[in-house]
Amino acid sequence: MTPVPAHAGTGRGPRAPHGGGPRVLVFSTNGISDPGIDLAGSSHMHYPTEVVVISLPCTSGVKPSWILHALERGFDGVFIAADGEECAYLQDCSERSAGIVERAQELMEAHGIDGRRLRMAAICSVCAEPFTRQVRAFAGSLAGLAEVAA
Amino acid sequence: MSDQVTPSPGKRRIGVYVCHCGGNISDYVDVDRVIDAVKDEADVVVARDAMFTCSDVTQEEIAKDIREQGLDGLVVASCSPKLHTTTFRGVARRGGLNPYQYTQANIREQCSWAHTDDREGATGKAISLVRAAVARTRLSEPLEPLVVETTGRAVVVGGGVAGMRAAIGLADMGLGVFLVEREAELGGWVGDLPKMFPNGTDGHELARRLQDEIHRRPAINVFTRAEVVEKTGTYGNYQVTVRAGGEQIRLDVGQVIVATGFASYEPEPGEFGYGAPGVVTLADFTRMLDEAGSPLVYHGRPVKTIAYIYCVGSRNETHPYCSRYCCSAAVHASLLVTAADPGVRQYHLYRDMRTYGRHELEYIESRRRGSVYMKFADDEPPLVTSDDGSLRVTVRDLLTGGDQLAIGPDLVVLVTGMVPRDNAELTTALKLPVGLDGFFNEIHPKLRPVETVVDGVSICGACQGPKTVAESVASGLAAAAQAAAVLKRGVAELDPQVTFVHPEACTGCGQCVGACPYSAISLVERGPAKVASIDAAACKGCGGCVPSCPEDAIDLAGYTDAQIRSMIDSLLVGSET
């Protein structure tokens, strides 16, 4: 098992590779939220460069252990840009996603990681502005957590 | 394009190509620094930049590199994968590389364009994104599409205008068609309509013409009073069971097209006076116009004043969408009334008029011919009362400074929209994806507008949301073309990025079986134990079963546990070059 770095979950990891703000990993979906995130870029809407995206087919396929892995390895927060009700695969995608977040937060709690480092919001294929607003707010709240921890 | 070849210290041979996209990327990202940062990454043997990686010249250079450098992995860092995944998979194939060992890093939409204000930050992020793509590619496996032979027939469910047009289209392409209709006759809603907007085509006549066309084509077998009750088999070779006249009939088909249409909204008793004599829906009113002579008579009394109330049952909490066609349909109905009896006074009480496109001309015409339009506020709808058989409508009209106006109409027409049909049995039988609004969901409204996530099952017409007749016919033909494209080839290719089981890790607990709504997972004997087994042809590749496994024994090809963890780690590597 990979040893957990001392900084895990504290928001005080090594300097972010791009700037100085909190590192945020986004899980998006190929057909729904990723096009929404693309649209934010196409519209030249700005959000922190420390926000990076891994796209999957469906939110229901996110493993809680990936979220824990990301936070333990140095991401300050994980944002799930969920399919919500628009999922083309699974009618109950929202319920499944909620269950994934719940299980991830149990894992985070067991590893002493603040539950506020995980956030989920439904992002549709044209939700450019909501995505930008959400990740900015999330990065802001993560920066607040880091200040408290300091 | 400058060579940046370095010896490979690892086991893989990956080529990385970073696109300037004219200046769309390189104006905001230092492409040279990206190349410098990744050229010495383990397993990277080629790292180059290009002004446009998607240009024919660069595509051929990449294919040549694959052949000459013996690349077994390809990364292109350019625009969104939605735009060029197919392009570069094709490049990989032409170079002799498995297309699924290619990864596209999105450094335009999700980097340069999102960070036009921060070149340093964008460059660092681009480096991370390319490293993650290399990490994913390093763990990629060659995948081959599952090729299945198809049955050269289709079943079309629903004999309305969209379904009939789809059936005719398929037959004209030389394919056998089963057309299944729940009612006693083909025709659907259009078969009940009089003259329709915008050009006065008679609905009965249109439906009759289509029926005649169908009867002229022996390739189309029609089942009326029939319903689909089950679908078994796999993509390209489905067995669809139809219940007709007390019998169960099995149809062997390669494709299914669903064209089950819509239901008209039925107001609640008392909603805008509904239930009182003289308060009718738009669907009722359309039938009345069809049957009525001139002058228009309701219950033996001449109709001299009509009040139309728009958006009944639409754009509210229950049905938040706009049915779009109803404004045009109501305006058109009022023109029919005027044509029959110019003396009828007509008042249109609306929230917003949405007579889009050419329908706007009818709206203009109706006003020219005397229809009066009054706009009410969303939170202050008109009030309809009935007293001793006399109707009274009061409305605060925003167009006249918010004056409270009263109308004494002979008829109140509630302009009702389209709602989803109750198709529970069909939805279950075909495992159709249903949206929050209750209509069937396509994969993508613009790029794949008639396909569903269920391979080989397309949707068209108003079963996927409100549509006009013209739009329904267009989508019916699109579904026919989509189905025929597969059936005429005789074989179908399935996306190989589906889930697979690590049998040595599986304990046979069966949790994944319940997690798959597509019945793609079953438990099979493996020695003395049972383990999960996935039918690749039935798997949709959503990965929804992956988190359900307590033993981490399921992976999604292209998105394996190892690949995702490796990407996460790579995204955290510093961007220093």
Q: Same structural domain for residues B464 and B530? A: no
- Exposure b/e, B541-571, CB count within 10 A at least 16 = b: bbbbbbbbbeeebbbbbbbbbebbbbbbbbb
- Residue A102 in contact with partner chain B when CB distance is under 8 A: no
Sorted by sequence, the CB contacts under 8 Å of residue B335 that are 6+ apart come out as B362, B365, B366, B369
CATH number (3.40.50.960, 1.10.287.180, 1.10.8.60, 3.50.50.60) of A24-149 reads: 3.40.50.960
- pLDDT attached to residue B197: 77
CATH number at residue B319: 3.50.50.60
ipTM of the complex: 0.92
Q: Which of residues 420-439 of B touch A (CB under 8 A)?
A: 433-436
First to last CA, chain B: 20
- Residue B9 in contact with partner chain A when CB distance is under 8 A: no
What are the E-state strand segments in B479-550?
491-494, 499-501, 521-526, 529-534
Confidence of residue B9 (pLDDT cuts 50, 70, 90): very low
Q: Do A64 and B547 touch (CB under 8 A)?
A: yes
The pLDDT of residue B461 is above 50: yes
Q: What are phi and psi of B571, to 5 degrees?
A: -65, -20
On whether the CB atoms of residues B285 and B413 are closer than 8 A, the answer is: yes
On whether the CB atoms of residues B537 and B494 are closer than 8 A, the answer is: yes
- pLDDT one-digit tens code per residue, B474-503: 999 999 999 999 999 999 888 899 999 999
Percent over 70 (pLDDT), chain B: 98
Q: Same structural domain for residues B278 and B412? A: yes
Q: Same structural domain for residues B221 and B294? A: no
Domain boundary among B389, B417, B445: B417
Of all residues in chain B, the one with the smallest CA distance to A19 is B121
What gap in Å lies between CA A131 and CA B340, rounded to an integer?
54
Cβ neighbours of B107 (radius 10 Å)? 33
On whether the CB atoms of residues B350 and B311 are closer than 8 A, the answer is: yes
- pLDDT one-digit tens code per residue, B146-169: 888 899 999 999 999 999 999 999
Q: Same structural domain for residues B137 and B201? A: no
Confidence of residue B574 (pLDDT cuts 50, 70, 90): low
- Residue B577 in contact with partner chain A when CB distance is under 8 A: no
Of all residues in chain B, the one with the smallest CA distance to A22 is B572
Whether residue B117 is contained in a domain is answered as yes
- pLDDT one-digit tens code per residue, B432-447: 878 778 899 887 777 7
- pLDDT one-digit tens code per residue, B189-218: 999 888 887 778 899 999 999 999 999 999
The residue ranges of every structural domain in chain A are 24-149
CATH number at residue B109: 3.40.50
What gap in Å lies between CA B125 and CA B561, rounded to an integer?
23
Domain boundary among B352, B383, B417: B417
Q: Same structural domain for residues B111 and B66? A: yes
Q: Give B55's Cβ-side CA count (13 Å radius).
A: 15
Q: Which of residues 103-142 of A touch B (CB under 8 A)?
A: 103, 125
- pLDDT one-digit tens code per residue, B35-46: 999 999 999 999
DSSP-based helix, strand, coil % in chain B, nearest 5? 30, 30, 40
Residue whose C-alpha is closest to residue B91's, from B105, B103, B106, B107: B103
Whether residue B9 is contained in a domain is answered as no
Between A59 and A124, the more confident residue is A59
Confidence of residue A150 (pLDDT cuts 50, 70, 90): low
Domains identified in chain B, total number? 4
- Residue B574 in contact with partner chain A when CB distance is under 8 A: yes
Q: Do B124 and A19 touch (CB under 8 A)?
A: yes
Cα separation values, B572 from A16, B36, B110, B221, Å: 8, 18, 17, 61
Q: Same structural domain for residues B222 and B132? A: no
Q: Same structural domain for residues B280 and B407? A: yes
A26, A52, A65, A136: which to substitute to probe chain B, counting the most B Cβ within 10 Å? A52
- Residue B83 in contact with partner chain A when CB distance is under 8 A: no
Biggest CA-to-CA distance, chain A: 43
- Chain A residues inside the 8 Å CB shell of B543: 56-58, 60-61
On whether the CB atoms of residues B359 and B351 are closer than 8 A, the answer is: no
On whether the CB atoms of residues B237 and B150 are closer than 8 A, the answer is: yes
Q: Same structural domain for residues B238 and B288? A: no
- pLDDT one-digit tens code per residue, A10-63: 433 444 455 689 999 999 999 889 988 999 999 999 999 999 999 999 999 999
- Chain B residues inside the 8 Å CB shell of A32: none
Q: Give B492's Cβ-side CA count (13 Å radius).
A: 21
- Chain B residues inside the 8 Å CB shell of A63: 546-547, 552, 561, 564
Between B548 and A7, the more confident residue is B548
User: Which residue type sits at B454?
Assistant: V
Q: Do A18 and B128 touch (CB under 8 A)?
A: yes
Whether residue B562 is contained in a domain is answered as no
Residue whose C-alpha is closest to residue B516's, from A81, A122, A58, A28: A58
What gap in Å lies between CA B74 and CA B493, rounded to an integer?
23
| Structural domain harbouring B19 | 14-143
What gap in Å lies between CA B100 and CA B90, rounded to an integer?
10
What gap in Å lies between CA A25 and CA A60, rounded to an integer?
17
Sorted by sequence, the CB contacts under 8 Å of residue B152 that are 6+ apart come out as B175, B176, B254, B487, B488, B490
- pLDDT attached to residue A18: 54
Q: Do A54 and B132 touch (CB under 8 A)?
A: yes
What gap in Å lies between CA B416 and CA B379, rounded to an integer?
18
- Residue A146 in contact with partner chain B when CB distance is under 8 A: no
Domain boundary among B396, B417, B438: B417
Element (H, E) at A70: helix A64-73
Confidence of residue A1 (pLDDT cuts 50, 70, 90): very low
Cα separation values, B161 from B84, B169, B348, B473, B477, Å: 36, 12, 29, 6, 11
Task: Tell me which long-range contacts B556-560 makes (C-beta under 8 A, separation of at least 24).
Answer: B556/A56, B556/A57, B556/A61, B556/B497, B556/B498, B556/B499, B557/B100, B557/B141, B557/B143, B557/B496, B557/B497, B557/B498, B557/B499, B557/B500, B558/B100, B558/B140, B558/B143, B558/B497, B559/A56, B559/A57, B559/A61, B559/B497, B560/B139
Whether residue B3 is contained in a domain is answered as no
What gap in Å lies between CA B8 and CA B11, rounded to an integer?
8
Q: Do A73 and B444 touch (CB under 8 A)?
A: no
